[in-house]
Amino acid sequence: MSTNAGLLAGPNKGYRRLFAAGLINGIGDRFSSIAMLALVLQLTGSGMAVGISLGVRVLPYLFMAPLGGLLAGRLPRTTIMMAVDFLRVPVALSLLWVDGEHMLWLVYAGSFVMAAGEAIYSPVRKSSIPLLAAPEELLRINGLEQLLNGCVLILGAFAGGMVSLYFGPDMAFVMNAVSFLAAGLLIRGIQYPEQALDGDRDRESALHTEGGNPTLGLSVQSTRRRALRTVLGGSLALQVVLCYELLVPVINGWDNVLISVYAVQIFHAGDSGVGAFYAALGIGLSLSVFAERLFRKRLLAVALGGLLLEGILLMMISGSGHFATAFMLYILLSLAGGTGNACLDTLVMRETPPALQPAVFGLLAAVSGTLLGLSMFGAGWLLDVVEPRMLGFAGGAGFAAIALLLGGYYLLRSQWNKRNKESRPE
């Protein structure tokens, strides 16, 4: 059985660079996020100011993620990712000038710009993976992506907190700038297989002339939208994935807020408890890299089963009486979620033509990111009127209901499509 290290040391040299760049980039961004929150609290002591700094990191996804998908159809992917990384270097360093509450606007502006860069970067990066990996490797690669997220969550949060505590926020901002520079240089060395680029160019070219005579006045954008609708209409799996991204983030924001509330208010474990719960999520994501070896078929069923299990685990966490029990449940929760995410990403990559993948990933990032942010704001309001455990139980029940609803839709629509196919004359 091959190890993950063996995979990274194998023939996917381009993906190895992409993985390393994502790891460095992600850890550096965590450094900056933690340092910014610490700085805002230090300057203002205001929870509202913290909420604003978190909120401005969500807003860019609505507009910038689709832009990333559009740019990836017109410019080389490596150029876009390098430009985004290099342009964020001076933004990270600009936070060194914040020396009082009167400069708080710079924190908000810097947070917005760096989040906008990530919103552009993310769909371009995801759409690069199928160009660097063979189709049979996609599930394994997407499992490694969950490992990357887990490492970023554990190492970035822990190390970022230590750096900010012992060396101050300024050092964290400098290290974030260095991480963007290093990640950009790694991206610079990525070379896509020529046959993958040729196929991508051919499909992109086909979009310009799809539907016949190009003199009909159809713009490239309208042609792309029509092609996207055709792909979504012809793929039941993609329809379910889109519904998943529309429904799950509406509730997922509650869980993001409740992690801190459980640690501080329910288990009275303070900031160390918050860190421990986030570490549990990182552990679960890291372990999910091994789950892909067990689930290589029926990816949609695995993803929806994972969502159902997440719902059950959230309900169990809401009723847990011991911190250690909740810690273990969070590991299992993240393991199920990481496995489901790997399956969903693999489905999108398999079902979507490469030329349309940047647009699809951009659309999904915009939808899920925006809804997640609104859900987090909503959770703060709901916690004023609903007890945390009750809200957590409702969120878990919502996850389970969504899983059953989407599973039922897929089964009914599959049977309906099958009957229609059988009833058509030869």
Contact residues for 205 (Cβ-Cβ < 8 A; gap 6+): none
pLDDT tens digits along 76-124: 889 999 999 999 999 999 988 988 888 888 888 888 898 888 889 988 9
| Band of residue 397 on the pLDDT scale cut at 50, 70, 90 | very high
| Of 60 and 400, more confident | 400
pLDDT at residue 278, rounded to an integer: 83
Residue 1, SS3 per DSSP:
coil
Query: For residue 371, how many C-alpha atoms fall within 13 Å in the half-sphere facing its CB?
Result: 17
pLDDT tens digits along 337-396: 999 999 999 988 888 887 788 888 888 888 888 888 888 778 878 888 889 999 999 999
**Over 50: is that where the pLDDT of 213 sits?**
no
Range with the poorest average pLDDT among 174-188, 356-370, 395-409: 356-370
CA 121 to chain centroid, in Å, comes to 11
| Band of residue 63 on the pLDDT scale cut at 50, 70, 90 | confident
**Over 50: is that where the pLDDT of 1 sits?**
no
Share of the chain above pLDDT 90, in %: 26
Share of the chain above pLDDT 70, in %: 83
**Over 80: is that where the pLDDT of 38 sits?**
no
Average pLDDT, the chain: 81
Summarize the confidence of residues 226-231 as an average pLDDT: 71
**Over 50: is that where the pLDDT of 73 sits?**
yes
d(CA 425, CA 421): 9
Q: Which domains does the chain have, with CATH numbers?
A: 12-191 (1.20.1250.20), 226-426 (1.20.1250.20)
CA 253 to chain centroid, in Å, comes to 13
pLDDT at residue 359, rounded to an integer: 81
For 345-354, letters b (16+ CB in 10 Å) and e give: bbbbbebbbb
Alpha carbon distances (Å) from 19 to 16, 187, 255:
5, 10, 27
pLDDT at residue 47, rounded to an integer: 57
| Of 256 and 202, more confident | 256
pLDDT tens digits along 269-328: 876 787 788 889 989 998 888 876 677 778 899 999 999 999 999 999 999 989 999 999
Classify residue 298 as left (phi > 0), alpha (psi -120 to 50) or beta: left
**Over 50: is that where the pLDDT of 13 sits?**
yes
Residue 134, SS3 per DSSP:
coil
**Over 80: is that where the pLDDT of 12 sits?**
no
| Band of residue 59 on the pLDDT scale cut at 50, 70, 90 | confident
Instruction: Choose from 1-10, 38-47, 232-241 the range with maximum mean pLDDT.
Output: 232-241
pLDDT at residue 123, rounded to an integer: 87
**pTM score of the predicted model:** 0.79
Summarize the confidence of residues 177-190 as an average pLDDT: 91
| Band of residue 413 on the pLDDT scale cut at 50, 70, 90 | confident
**Over 70: is that where the pLDDT of 9 sits?**
no
| Band of residue 411 on the pLDDT scale cut at 50, 70, 90 | very high
pLDDT at residue 224, rounded to an integer: 63
d(CA 26, CA 180): 9
pLDDT at residue 56, rounded to an integer: 76
Phi, psi for 154 (deg, rounded to 5) = -75, -60
Summarize the confidence of residues 153-172 as an average pLDDT: 75
